[in-house]
Amino acid sequence: MKTKVRAVTSGKISNREKENKVLARKAASEGIVLLKNNGVLPINKKNIALYGNGARKTIKGGTGSGDVQERHSVSIEEGLEHSGFIINTKKYIDDFDLLYQSEFKKWDENIQRLAKNAGPNEIFEIISKNQFHFPIGRKILEEDIIASNCDTAIYVIARQAGEGKDRRHESGDYQITEVEYDNIKLIADRYKNTIIIINIGGMIDLTFVDEIQGIDALLYFVQGGQEGGSALTDILSGKVSPSGKLTDTWGKNYLDYPSSDTYSYMNKDVTNEEYKEGIYVGYRYFDSFQVQPRYEFGYGMSYTDFSIKVKQIDVKKEDININIIVQNTGEKYCGKEVVQLYVSAPGKRLPREYQSLVAFKKTEILKPGEEHEILLTFKLSDVAAYDEEHAAWILEEGSYIIRMGNSSRNTKQIAQVILEDSVQVEKATNICKVQKSLNEIIPPTFEWAQADPGIPSFVILKKDILCKENNYNKLPITTDKTLRKLVHSLTLKELTKLIVGGGQSGKNKNLTPGAVGRTTSALWKKGIPNINMTDGPAGVNVQQKSIVTSRGREKYLELPPFFNYGFLKKIAFLVKGNEKQGTVHYQFCTAWPVATLMAQTWNLDLLQEVGKGISKELDEIGATLWLAPGMNIHRNPLCGRNFEYYSEDPYLTGKLAAAITKGVQSIPGIGTTIKHFVCNNQEDNRMYVSSDINERALREIYLKGFRIAVEESKPLAVMTSYNRLNGIYTANSYDLCTKVLRNEWGYCGLVMSDWYSTGEGKADYAACAKAGNDIIMPGDAKARKAIIKSIKQKDIEIEDVKRCAANVLHLVFSSKVYTEEND
Ligand code: BGC
């Protein structure tokens, strides 16, 4: 039997690449948030002075597994020049290049030194912990200003982060440096128009904007993927009106966030992370504790103005449907608006947040004067709170106030819904017990719900709301008869091959060069092929050019960057191939905007389209699972992987993940892997930290988004996280992997562990099977042996192994690569 490689053998730019390029540019431009504009934008001049470390070395995304090997990335400099802008600060930009090269060389030498005696798996961790510190650049000189000979300056502040390390609350990272401060002050003074671009996958301290006079405009560009430079130019030139909205609350100061002084390394304890803020994350905190943010959740300006008016409100049982008319009331620019609905719930017995997002929608492009009608719907039970004492989701009696607007703080009350009696919406069971009790913060008041006089009022009766009961009985191995028969026919050794991944290299039935994981190929002769998994979330992360030898082995045509380090150089000959050894395969995948930028579009249709674009790439290269989207909550601005995640809000996160999943899964047999389940909100010491959290916050904030994604879009896979949760590794948690995911949410897909999260001192191999974490990734012989031993010692039951194996087989048999061959 032969290895099958689906990747193309032509290196020419394909139609798929061209289509995705257009879509990536659109997605990036729709997500950019205009934070401040005193009229200088859009720019109507051709000559520009461009400064800052992100001018030419524009950062397209974060580092680590979330990176993408795209064909070409458009920098801000290139984007501007392509659309006819003339940049007169080349000397400054060239000088930055030289500095960058010398800093990179120093970093590279240091990594080579540190990695000298490290094993292949350790290299990744060494690089993660010693990330390249993106240089800042030199001071702007008088001659730069004179040479630029223009009145408009753009300054790009860039920072890079990535997995394995949290961002630092210091100058050069969260704070701007003295050089940046002085440079911005100088240009704000010397140029008529000064525009600041933030090219960062997360927040920075913007105090300088208050202190420095003369900053005219501020754009949160985030990191725009391969088309970032073009997308930003579309906004700067006015070709596209900004329509992005923040998906996080930007505090005035880092210390304004409730987790600020204890987060990660901030309190020097990276082993136990206490979630003392409970449900008060993001705007739930700022609103309830009356802290004035710098920019509120949902905020973003446009070049035009809109009016938002209610046309009709209709309440049927517990369904609330609101028809809204949005009009572009400006005279010059087209634009899109995002309508947002928030609800304040009564908190008599359980303290509630001031408000929470319950629905939103982005309009089509509206021309000046044009109107658009949208429909927003939600159920009252969507705002239920979790009562730990009774292990139930409840709605308390009283007035639920609905607010509508275009940001969380620019809303007006449009109606109240009165619930006559308290209702239990869902009966659950207590999960994930805390190790020691946590004293959560409590807001000064819960008396939010004061209805404005004259707003329409609707009554919902207790009987209008159905109560869901959950069943926590042990799950059958599988309900599929054929699969059951097959599973029972396999030996223990064969079963363990299925529930441990197929490693990171070797001969495979299906081959996607550079795929980061796969299921086993060892049962190939029994008609069970392997399937492949590739990273995300900023695109499909695989090797661009590879050779597949006549014996079915993959080799790199060009070595990936990490092979420069230490001893890896010595084994390069094993992995490097040449054209004579076999066929060259090309996998030019698209680098999309990072997740936060994509989220800032608030455009579910667009995310679904992006998902479709991604599925075409997965299909072309023969991969079944995309290891994305990342759904962790932006709990604290310093999390090193925030760029891979969407928002501080679970509802928004869940809807976005569901939308992209629907897109990816529009090709049957190809799917997403929503990750990292759950509370993986810290990068320092990520494999050992315990997220210590009360059940209510766990359910209302951290699990809620996953639930929405599971129920709405049925992702093919879920990835558990590196961290422990209340002391227990998530891959070993029956509460999470079975009770919550399968018993409560009805999940039927595959659950996998994160890479190298199991083993000595980490999650226990065999306990994964018992918990319902079906497959250990990337997988090795050690894991298989440990599971066999545990079965023999009766630590786990063979049924547990069979259940996991059935879930793996179910995915393999429903994968597109399998069905195509067996039709
Ligand atoms: C990351 C995952 C990723 C996996 C495979 C891990 O380090 O946490 O998000 O999917 O590697 O690359």
Tokens of 187: 């240009």
Closest residue by Cα to residue 790 from 538, 495, 475: 495
pLDDT of residue 388: 97
Give the integer Cα–Cα distance in Å for 223 and 160.
9
67 lines ligand 1 (CB under 6 A): no
Residues 6+ apart with CB under 8 A from 573: none
Ligand 1 pocket member 554 (CB < 6 A): no
Give the residue among 207, 61, 74, 81 at the shortest CA–CA distance from 134.
Answer: 61
Nearest protein Cα to ligand 1, atom 3: 65
* Nearest-angstrom CA–CA distance, 764 and 692: 20
Specify the residue with its C-alpha closest to ligand 1, atom 4. Answer: 755
Residue nearest to atom 11 of ligand 1 (CA): 755
Please give the pLDDT value at position 142: 95
* Pick from 676, 533, 661, 652: nearest CA to 596: 652
Helix residue ranges per DSSP H, 499-549: none
Q: Whose CA is nearest to atom 5 of ligand 1?
A: 755
AA identity, residue 438: L
Place of tokens 């994964």: 768
Instruction: Determine if residue 685 is left, alpha or beta; phi over 0 gives left, psi from -120 to 50 gives alpha, anything else beta.
Output: left
Residue in the structure block whose two tokens are 């200088």: 40
**pLDDT for res 274:** 97
Ligand 1 site, residue 683, Cβ cutoff 6 A: no
Paired strand residues for 128: none
With vertex at residue 730, the alpha carbon angle to CA 728 and CA 731, rounded to the nearest 5 degrees, is 115
Give the integer Cα–Cα distance in Å for 755 and 749. 19
What local confidence, expressed as pLDDT, does residue 449 receive?
67
Q: Among the atoms of ligand 1, which is closest to the Cα of residue 164?
A: 7
Closest CA to 445 of 649, 226, 290: 290
Across the chain, which has 823 residues, the per-10-residue mean pLDDT values are 90 97 98 98 96 98 92 98 97 97 93 82 81 93 96 97 95 98 98 98 98 98 98 98 98 98 96 97 97 98 98 97 98 98 94 96 98 98 97 97 98 97 97 94 81 95 94 96 97 98 88 95 94 97 92 86 72 85 94 98 98 98 98 98 98 98 98 98 96 98 98 98 98 98 98 97 97 97 97 96 98 96 81
> Do 664 and 614 form a contact (C-beta atoms < 8 A)?
yes
**Angle between the N-to-C axes of helices 120-129 and 90-114, in degrees from 0 to 180, rounded to the nearest 10:** 140
**In the chain, what is the straight-line distance between the N-terminal and C-terminal CA atoms, in Å?**
18
Cα separation of 757 and 778, whole Å?
Answer: 9
Determine whether the shortest distance from the Cβ of 675 to ligand 1 is under 6 A.
yes
- Per-residue pLDDT at 340: 98
Name the pTM for this structure.
0.97
The token pair that represents 100 in the structure block: 């960058």
Give the position, in ligand 1's atom list, of the atom nearest the Cα of 536. 10
**Pairing status of strand 423-427 against strand 392-395:** antiparallel
Question: SS3 letters for 686-713?
Answer: CCCCEEECCHHHHHHHHHHHHHHHHHHH
The pLDDT value recorded for residue 735 is 98
Which two three-digit tokens encode residue 31?
């997500």
List b or e across 228-257, with b for residues whose CB sees 16 or more CB atoms inside 10 angstroms.
bbbbbbbbbbbebbbbbbbbbbbbeebebb
Q: What is the three-class DSSP state of 809?
A: helix
Element (H, E) at 583: strand 582-586
Alpha carbon distance 156, 219 (integer Å): 10
Q: Give the strand order in the sheet containing 457-460.
A: 356-362, 338-344, 398-405, 411-419, 457-460
Which of 627, 676, 679 is the pocket-test mutation for ligand 1 (most atoms within 8 Å of CB)?
627
Whether residue 650 is preceded by a cis peptide bond, meaning omega within 30 degrees of 0, is no
Element (H, E) at 198: strand 193-199
Atom number in ligand 1 closest to CA 722 = 8
Give the ligand 1 atom nearest the CA of 644. 9
Determine contact, residues 467/390, Cβ cutoff 8 Å.
Answer: no
Length of the chain: 823
Say if ligand 1 is within 6 A of residue 644 CB.
no
- pLDDT on residue 652: 98
- Amino acid code (one letter) for 309: K
As a whole number of angstroms, the distance between CA 187 and CA 190 comes to 5
pLDDT confidence of residue 196: 98
Instruction: Find, among 606, 711, 733, the residue nearest to 651 by Cα.
Output: 711
What SS3 class is residue 6? coil
AA identity, residue 788 = I
Amino acid, res. 93: I
Q: Rg for the chain (alpha carbons), in Å?
A: 26
- Per-residue pLDDT, 566: 67
Residue pair 801/768 in contact (Cβ under 8 Å)? The answer is no
| Residue showing tokens 């060389």 | 105
Which residues are CB-neighbours of 239 under 8 A, at least 6 positions away? 83, 233
pLDDT at 50 (0 to 100): 98
Task: Please give the C-alpha separations between residue 163 and each of 111, 638, 650, 727, in angstroms, as whole numbers.
Answer: 16, 12, 21, 22
**Closest C-alpha to ligand 1, atom 7:** 755
Residue 193 host element (H or E): strand 193-199
- Longest Cα–Cα distance in the chain: 80
**Predicted pLDDT at 128:** 81
Q: Counting atoms of ligand 1 from 1, which one is nearest the CA of 686? A: 8
Residues 6+ apart with CB under 8 A from 269: 262
Structure tokens at 81: 């020049």
Ligand 1 probe mutation, 540, 754, 762, 775, most atoms within 8 A of CB:
754
Q: By alpha-carbon position, which residue is closest to atom 12 of ligand 1?
A: 65
- Residues with Cβ < 8 Å from 466, sequence gap 6 or more? none
pLDDT for 630: 98
Beta bridge pairs of residue 157? 198
Which amino acid does the sequence have at 634?
H
DSSP 455-469: --EEEE-GGGSPPEE
Phi-psi region of 677 (alpha: psi -120 to 50; beta: other; left: phi over 0): beta
Ligand 1 centroid – CA 794 distance (Å):
32
The tokens describing 512, both together, are 């996607």
- Counting Cβ atoms within 10 Å, is residue 412 exposed (0-12), middle (13-18) or buried (19+)? exposed
**CB–CB of 368/273 below 8 Å?**
no
Q: What is the CA angle 683-686-692, rounded to 5?
A: 100
Q: Are strands 517-518 and 671-677 parallel, antiparallel or unpaired?
A: unpaired
Question: CB-based contacts of 97: which residues, under 8 Å, 6+ apart?
Answer: 56, 57
Span from the CA of 65 to the centroid of ligand 1 (angstroms): 6
- CA-to-CA dists, residue 736 to 270, 471, 713, 787, angstroms: 23, 15, 19, 21
From the CA of 102, how far away is ligand 1's center (Å)? Answer: 30
pLDDT for position 572: 82
